[in-house]
Chain A
Amino acid sequence: MSMTERILFWLGILILLIGLIGMKADISKLEHQAQQTVQASSEGGEE
């Protein structure tokens, strides 16, 4: 296995890892927003 091939594989892994971290952060933000929406709608329903 050549060094170039190894570097390309690591580059691919790195890009996927960065994508995963970004996506995870986005999901956490959306989960928080969704929770707030559910809370707001349940409070609205109680009124």
Chain B
Amino acid sequence: MNPKIERIIYIGIIVVLAGLLLSFGKKDLQLRKQIPLTVEELYKKLGNPKINIQVIDVRPYEVSEEEEDEAEDTDYYSGVHIPGAIPLPDCDESKAPEKALPQISPYIPTVIVSKDGDPEIFKKCSKKFPFAQNLKGGMVAWDEEGYPEDEGEYEPPAAGGGGGCL
């Protein structure tokens, strides 16, 4: 066979296979978004230093003094939150505390934490975070399982990074 033609055939096969691999990769990402992460899985991931993951908390950052008596701790970030979680209320940068913004990275695996795992807010957020997964049951489920929690204002990690760690 003519070497030129043979080369073209090989390159053609490689291009087709690479295209298929890419489309499979996209499908894989889409499917991963559909499957929520359980609090147990998140706890294990946060405890593993080899896994780089960021936790984005989309609940309101704080509540007004009048609302504070009626609100439960799981209703807002400063009430109680997953250690290392980055506040991004409503997935809106304008509502996030200024010191949290530099810690947010859209291109690392992300877990979205709402009060009860609301799929609507997750849908909104997953447009900004292509590698996002929803936390099933949200902060309420995390609280009920008795996993570690922090309270108070957001403090960025001293040595950069954006993830939560336990």
Closest to B24 in A: A23
Closest CB-CB distance, B147 to chain A, in whole Å?
21
A47 CA to B5 CA, complexed, in Å: 64
B14 touches A1 (CB 8 A): no
User: What is the interface of chain A mostly: helix, strand, loop, or mixed?
Assistant: helix
**Interface residues of B, CB < 8 Å — how many?**
20
Stretch in B30-38, B83-91, B94-102, B103-111 with 4+ CB within 8 Å of A: B30-38
Chain A residue numbers with a CB within 8 Å of B11 are: 9
A37 CA to B32 CA, complexed, in Å: 12
Chain A residue numbers with a CB within 8 Å of B32 are: 30
Chain A residue numbers with a CB within 8 Å of B155 are: none
A1-B24 CB under 8 A given contacts A13-B17, A31-B31: no
Q: Mark out the residues of chain B between 1 and 40 whose CB falls within 8 Å of any chain A CB in the assembled complex.
A: 3, 6-7, 10-11, 13-14, 17-18, 20-21, 24-25, 27-28, 31-32, 34-36
B21 touches A20 (CB 8 A): yes
Fill in one digit per residue for B61-88: 1 if any A CB lies within 8 Å of its CB, else 0: 0000000000000000000000000000
A1 CA to B5 CA, complexed, in Å: 10
A34 touches B35 (CB 8 A): yes
Chain B residue numbers with a CB within 8 Å of A26 are: 28
A9 CA to B32 CA, complexed, in Å: 32
A37 touches B17 (CB 8 A): no
Q: Looking at the complex, which one of A13, A19, A20, A34 makes contact with B31 (CB distance below 8 Å)?
A: A34
- Which residues of B pack against A, CB within 8 Å? 3, 6-7, 10-11, 13-14, 17-18, 20-21, 24-25, 27-28, 31-32, 34-36
